Structure formats: structure tokens, C-alpha cells
Structure 1
Amino acid sequence: MNTEIFTNPIFIAIAVVLLIVVIWFLVYYFKHRNQAKVVENNHAKEKESLVQKYESEHEAERLEHKKELSNLNEKYYNDTTLLDNKLSSLHQFSVDKGEYLTDLALIQLKDKLVKDEKIRESDMIILSNVFLPSRNYTNTRKIDHLVLTRTGIYLIDSKYWSGHILHGVNEAQFETVPYVESFFDLLDLDKKREQTLIFEKADQKNVSVNHYNGVIDETKITAEKLKNKLKLQYDIVPIIYFNPKDNGNYSITNYSEDPSIRVIVGQEDLEAFFLKYVFHGRFQYTVKDLDEIADAILEQSL
């Protein structure tokens, strides 16, 4: 083998040059490959940062939209509830102004109690114009108002009146109110039994007298029948509510010793009754009970 080639200075010089070129190429390749990786990593990090920023902004927008939608739903519910109450009240007004005013007074009372945080919305249910049919539908009873609370259920018979009431009067009051005996005789009333009389001015010279005992007895019977129909453990409290016409001249004297029915005159007394007796009593029902009782009443009254 000719070794002169490998010892030839020219060959050696060419080999050295080639080696330098190869080394330079390898250095250049690895250097730029590392730079490319750095650029690629920086690009990946920038991309990830942009994605996270977009997702964060998108999540904030989604939460803001969800909050706005929730507020709109709440406003819609409140507006429709208020409208339903107004429509219900207007319907009542078209039937009976006295019942409408009582319904409005009850709604305002509930709104006030909820606003003052004395009760929750679900602690009081107001039903109006409820019908209690008999088995053969020949003796259907109309209930003006039912108020369902956790401390009891109250049946309200609403009367729109003007004048002066003597409630629960009988022969024991004839000496105190002597003129009443003549009306007992005129109306052929039982003098031993409590009676309720309303004196109203008919015109400039005449006074009309209305006898309300039939209404009171019917109200007590209706409360008992509704309790039995719903199979309730506790009695339903019957109330006669006299709502004075246009807040006119009126008075009431209550001689009654009958604890089974309450007689209330005017919106102030109605509010005072509920504040004093209804929301400070012992709980008889849960919120779930009230919902179930309301559903049962509405189903049977249709």
C-alpha cells in the first residue's frame, strides 16, 4: 500500500480542512438546533399564556352573563308575581269590592312582614275565592279568604260595611243597651243566644238594622267542614272581618263570650291580630305542610 499519499502535505492539508469543516458544521447544527428549541419552547409558552388568558376572560364573561341572566330571571319572577297578585286582586274587585280590599290588605301585610324579615315568603299563603263543594254539589260553600301560616290556618269571611256593630249581644245587655230589646222582638231573635246587629244610616231620617248571626254560624260550620275534609289535626280559626266602607264612620262593641270565632274591624285591627297572635304562636305546620294543604284546597275547589 502506498503510504506516501497519507504523508503528502497536500493530502494532510485537505484532510485538516475537511475535518475543520465537519466540526464547524456540527457546532453550527447543534447550536442552531438548541436555538430552534428555545424559540419553539417560547412559542409554546406564549401560546399557552394566550390560551389561559382567553379562557380566563371567557370564564369572566360567562360568569357575568350568568349573573345578569340570574338577575333578569329574579326580576321576571318578582314582576310576574306582583302582576299575578294585581290581576288576582282586580279579579276580586270585579266580583266584590269588599273582598278585593281584604285581599289587598292581606297581600300588603304579607309583603310588609317579609320585607321586615319577620316571616319568609313561604311562611304565609293567601288564598281567595275558594269553593268547598259538598258530595252532591248542592250545598257548595264559598270561602272569601284562607290564610295559611305555620302557626295555624285562618278562614276569613269578609264584610264591606258602614255603620255601628253590636256583636255578641243578648238579654244580659238589655239593661246596658235598653233599645236593643225592641229589635230582638222585631226580628224575633233568641234573647238567650248571642246576636250580632249592624245599625246603618239608610237616609236622613231612617236607620237600617242588619242581623249577621246566620253569617257567623255559617262561617264556623265552614271552618269545621274544611278541617274535616282536609283531615287536619288542628282547628281552622274562623274570622269575621268587617271592612268599613271608605273608612267611614263606624264603631263596634263586642259583648261576645264565644272564643270560637273572632270579629275584626278595619285593616289596623287585622294587622294587629296577625302580628300579635299568628306569628308568635306555636308552630303547627311546616312549610311543606302548607304547600300540600294549599294544593289540596285548590284541587278540591276547582
Structure 2
Amino acid sequence: MAERPYTNRGEYLTYQRLKGLSVVNSEDRITIFANVFFHPITNGPVRQIDHLITSRRGVFMLETKYWAGTVYHQVCNEQLKIECERFWPLVEAALPPEIRRLKQTVPYTLIAHGNRPLTVRHGYSNPTEQVRTAKKQLHDLLSQHLKIPPYLHGFVIYVYPHGESNAIVDLNHHLDELGQFATEPEGFTSIDAFVKYYNRLPDRVMPTQRLTAINQCIREHIIS
């Protein structure tokens, strides 16, 4: 559908870091498609991708979050009750009613902002679900135009600088590292963590001809 200018500081900072990555790894032939909007083939709502990156190491979708405060990535009520055991009655009372009613093991992302109300991202507003949904829909769209659609890597990246009052809590160890059975992480606690992960990937897994075809497909059928 289109590329549009960045209006989010976190997206812009990530873009700048990715541009630096492309210079250092010029042999990877990295292309960064910025702030991409596309129509799913199911005629659902228009989807947006913060950063769509193609390179000889693969194709990557990045969903960046510039969130201050303490971010609990993919936590559930069962875990939060244990993590905040001493203050659980207060924490539970501060959760939105729809979150308190969730099954104990249903995940969501929670942002605590000091004295401000808790913010909860659940369902499609949960960044992990955003990535999962957009990744499938983009794969379906590319499948219409490419004989062999590329495998898509999809990640959440938390961009806000860490500090005394800003942190990422990853109780399930789904960020920054390979999971059980060498599964990919769901995302990264910083853009630098993603860059380190990228640099450890095998290089030249994508033949130049195939990379060119993927880039052409994106330009002609997604952002044209």
C-alpha cells in the first residue's frame, strides 16, 4: 500500500540504528522499508509494519515500542500474583476489570508508570500478537506473488532507554535469547540486542537473485 514518514521517536531511533547496521554489513545488501502499510488478502483492516528489512540473512519484521516505565512482557495473572506477592491485592485492584477476569494463564503485556494507572495490552494491542498476526498476513500476501515466499522473522523491540525507573521484565525468558528447542526469541529488550542477534545469524543464506525478487515483490505489490 505505502511507506510513510516516521512520527514515533522510537521508530526513528530504530531506523537510524538499522541504517548503521546496513553500512557495517554492506555485503548483506540490507534494504529497510519504513513504516509499511498493507491490505491483507482477507480484506481485513489495514496492517502496519514499523520496519520491514530484507537482507542476505533473511526477511525481518520489527514492531518497536517506545514505552517508559516497567514493562512486563507476556505476563499472566498467575505469574504476576507470584511476582508481586506482597502487594498482590493492590496490584489486582489496579488491573482493568477485563484483565482480572482473564484465565490465570492468558498472557498480556503490562506497563507500570510509577504513580499513574497501569496500562495493559491484551489481544491485538499486545505487541506479540500484533507481530504474530501481521507476520501471517504478510506471508499470505507474498505467497500470492512469489513461488517460494520467504520465511519471515518477526520481533518486538523495546526501544526506550533502560534506567532506574524504566525496565523490561521478561519472566518467561522470551526476549533476547533462543528458547527451548532453539526457537527464535519473541523480541528484544533493545535495538542493540537485536543487532547482536542479527550479527550472529548465518550470512548469505539468501541468494542475490532471490533477494532481488523479494524486494521487487514488496515494491510492486505492497508499497506501490
Q: Give the counterpart of 1:218 among 117, 124, 130.
A: 130
Report if aligned partners of 1:220, 1:238 keep a CA contact under 8 Å in 2.
Answer: yes
Amino acid at match of 2:118: V
Does 2:217 correspond to 1:296? yes
Report if aligned partners of 2:128, 2:186 keep a CA contact under 8 Å in 1.
Answer: no
Q: What is residue 166 of structure 1 aligned with on the other side?
A: 72
Give the structure-1-normalised TM-score.
0.57
Q: Give the counterpart of 2:188 among 256, 264, 286.
A: 264
Q: What is residue 92 of structure 2 aligned with on the other side?
A: 182
Q: Deviations over 1:48-103 (max 9, x none)?
A: xxxxxxxxxxxxxxxxxxxxxxxxxxxxxxxxxxxxxxxx9xx734x222211111
Report if aligned partners of 1:161, 1:245 keep a CA contact under 8 Å in 2.
Answer: no
Q: Deviations over 1:154-198 (max 9, x none)?
A: 110111121111112124422233346616853422221122111
Q: CA deviation at 1:260?
A: 6.5
Query: Can you give the 5+ residue segments of structure 2 that lack an aligned partner in the other structure?
Result: 175-182
Q: Where is the helix percentage greater, Structure 1 or Structure 2?
A: 1
Q: What is residue 180 of structure 2 aligned with on the other side?
A: none
Structure 2 residue matching 1:193: 3-state secondary structure:
coil
Percent identity for Structure 1 against Structure 2: 19
RMSD over aligned Cα, in angstroms? 3.0
Q: What is residue 202 of structure 2 aligned with on the other side?
A: 280
Q: Could you say if the C-alpha distance between residues 226 and 135 of structure 1 is closer, same or farther in structure 2, counting changes exceeding 3 Å?
A: closer
Report if aligned partners of 2:40, 2:138 keep a CA contact under 8 Å in 1.
Answer: no
- After superposing on structure 2, the runs of 4+ consecutive aligned residues of structure 1 that deviate more than 4 Å are 135-138, 245-249, 257-261
- In 2, the alpha carbon distance for the partners of 1:108 and 1:299 equals 26
Structure 1 residue matching 2:172: 3-state secondary structure:
coil
Amino acid at match of 1:299: E
Q: Give the counterpart of 1:242 among 149, 158, 165.
A: 158
Q: Give the counterpart of 2:141 among 224, 229, 233.
A: 229
Larger radius of gyration: 1
Give the structure-2-normalised TM-score.
0.75
- How many residue pairs get aligned? The number is 199
Report if aligned partners of 1:194, 1:256 keep a CA contact under 8 Å in 2.
Answer: no
Q: Does 1 or 2 have the higher relative contact order (CA < 8 Å, sep 6+)?
A: 2
Amino acid at match of 1:111: V
Does 2:19 correspond to 1:107? yes
Q: Give the counterpart of 2:107 among 191, 194, 214.
A: 194
- In 2, the alpha carbon distance for the partners of 1:260 and 1:291 equals 25
